[in-house]
Amino acid sequence: MPLDIVILAAGQGTRMNSSRPKVLHTIAGKSMLQHVIDAARSFDDAHLHIVIGHGAEQIRNEISGEDIRWVVQEKQLGTGHAVHQALPFLRPKAIALVLYGDVPLVNPATLKQLVLSVDAENMALLTVDLEHPSGYGRVLRDSEGCVTSIVEQKDATEEQLRIHEVNTGIVAAPVSHFARWLPALKCENAQGEYYLTDIIAMACAEGLRIHTQSALSEAEVLGVNDRYQQARLERIYQDKQARALMAQGVTLMDPQRFDCRGHIVAGRDVVVDVNVVFSGHVELGDNVVIGPNCVISNAKIGRGSHIKANSVIEDAKIGCDVDVGPFARIRPGTVLGDASRIGNFVETKNAVFGEGSKANHLAYIGDAEIGVDCNIGAGTITCNYDGANKHKTVMGDQVFVGSNSTLVAPLVIESGGFVGAGSTVTKTVPEKNLAVARGQQRNIAGWKRPEKNK
C-alpha cells in the first residue's frame, strides 16, 4: 500500500518562551522539524504532509522541499483535529503514518517496522516503557493483553497513572479507517481538545487488531516542550555521534564536550580535544589533531595537520602536515598547501598558500595567491578592497615580506621578491628585487618630550 506521512507541527510551544515556533528550534544545528522530515524521507515514494498553524509563514520560509504539502490548522484544537485537516489530501487507499515535529530523534528503522504491521485489519501504535511516565498518555490493555484504549495523564485515575507503558503518539493505519474515525472524535476531556488517541478505542470497538511496537530506545520518542528538554535531547544526540566516531578509532578527549552539527568523515588516529564544534561536512585525514575550543565548518583537513586551540575554519581546504593557530581564523575560499603554516592571530580569506609558505602571526591575507616557500611577516595586510571591488595579490615562489607591510592590490610580487619591513607596496616587485617603500627617517636633536598638565 502507498504511504502518506502526516507531521504535526502546528503548536506554539508556550513553554519555550520564544517568538519562534517550537518545531524550528534546533538539535545539532538543525530544526527539530527538519530532523523529522529527514526521517520521513527515508521512505521511498511517501507523500509528505505537514500540518502547521502557529508561525506558519515562518515555518514555510525556513523549511523547503517540493515534496511537502502544507496543511494549515487555523485553530489548534488537538492532535485529532490536526490530522483531520490533512485528511482531504490523503490517498484513500494509502496507509497514513502520523509523526510529530517536536519528536526529532525518531529512528527511520523503527518507523519502517511499524508500517510493515499495518493492513486492512491491523493498525499500529508505537509505545515505550518509561520509568517515570509523567506527562504521557497511558496504554490500557484488557485481561488478555490486548490494547483497548489510551488515557491521557490529566484524565487518568490513580491506578492508571501507575502504568509505565505510554503512548508515543506515533500511529499508522489505513487512510480509510482515519476517514471514519476522525469525524467522530469528541472533545469531552479535561483539555477540551480532539485527541488522536481516542481512535484506539474506536478501532477496538470495530474489532481491529492494534499492533504495538516498542521503541528501540526512550530517546527516539522523547518530545521537546521546554528548553531543558531540548538541551537533554541535544546531549543524547551528541553522545550518539561521539560513540560512532570513537568506534571508528577517533580519540575524543571528553565525549561530553563535543558537538557535531553536521557530518564528519574521519581517518585513523584522529584526536579531538574538548569543546570542539563541527558543522556542515568535515573531512579529517589520518593523524589529524584538533586542539581545544576550535570551530570547524565545511572543511577538509589533510593527513597529519594540527589545528591548535581557539581556531576557526570555515569553507576551507587544509593540506597535509599543516599547522594552524592558535587563535587563527581561516575564512571561506582558503586553500593551505602541504606543510604551510598559519599562526596566531592570522586571518585568511579566499587565499591560496603554496607548499611550505607561512604567515606566523598578526596578519590579514585576503584575495591572494601565495607561491611556494613564502614568508609573510607579522603585521602584514593585503589591501584587497577599494570600497567597491575586490582585487588580488599574487606572489611567486620564495617571496619574503617584512613585518608591518601593506600590500595594495592589485599587486604582483614575482618569485624571489623581497619587501622591506614597514613598506607600503603599490607596484609590481620584479623577480629577486628588494622593494622598500617608506618615509625617510629623521633624528631631531634637542627634542623635548611632552609632559602632563599639572
Q: Which pLDDT tens digit goes with each residue over 391-406?
A: 999 999 999 999 999 9
Residue 350 one-letter amino acid: N
Residue-wise pLDDT tens digits, 335-351: 999 999 999 999 999 99
Neighbour count for residue 68 (Cβ, 10 Å): 17
Question: Which region among 18-32, 166-180, 435-449 has the lowest average model confidence (pLDDT)?
Answer: 435-449
Quote the mean pLDDT of the chain: 95
* Calpha distance 405→31 (Å, rounded): 46
Other Cβ atoms within 10 Å of 93 Cβ, number = 10
d(CA 297, CA 303): 18
Walk me through the domains of the chain, giving residue ranges and CATH numbers. Answer: 3-221 (3.90.550.10), 243-435 (2.160.10.10)
The per-residue pLDDT for 92 is: 95
Q: H-helix or E-strand containing 428?
A: none
* Rounded CA Rg of the chain: 31
- Residue 14 CA to residue 445 CA, distance in Å, equals 75
Confirm whether pTM is higher than 0.75: yes
Q: Which residues contact 165 (CB under 8 A, 6 or more apart)?
A: 127, 128, 129, 138, 139
Reduce the DSSP state of residue 415 to 3 states and report it: coil
CA distance 178 to 97: 11
pLDDT, residue 275, reads 98
C-alpha span between 5 and 129 (Å, rounded): 25
Q: Kindly tell me the burial class for residue 203, based on how many C-beta atoms sit within 10 Å of its own C-beta (0-12, 13-18, 19 or more).
A: buried
What is d(CA 210, CA 173) in angstroms, rounded to the nearest whole number? 9
Angle between helices 108-116 and 32-40 (to 10 degrees): 50
DSSP annotation of 388 reads S
pLDDT digits (tens, 9 = 90+) for 104-130: 999 999 999 999 999 989 999 999 998
Helix (H, G, I), strand (E, B) or coil at 39: helix
Q: Is the pLDDT of residue 190 over 80?
A: no
Let me know: does 270 contact 291? Beta carbons within 8 Å.
Answer: no
Model confidence pLDDT, tens digit, residues 7-21? 999 998 899 999 999
**What are the cell numbers at 185?**
472524535
SS3 per residue for 207-221 = CCEEEEEECCCCHHH
Mean pLDDT, residues 272-278? 98
DSSP state of 429: B
- Residue 94's Cβ-side half-sphere holds a number of Cα atoms within 13 Å equal to 18
C-alpha grid cell, residue 451: 609632559
Q: How far apart are CA 283 and CA 318, in angstroms?
A: 10
Question: What was the pLDDT predicted at 441?
Answer: 85
Which residues have a Cβ under 8 Å from the Cβ of 66 and sit 6 or more positions away?
A: none
pLDDT tens sequence across 367-384? 999 999 999 999 999 999
- Active site residues per annotation: 361
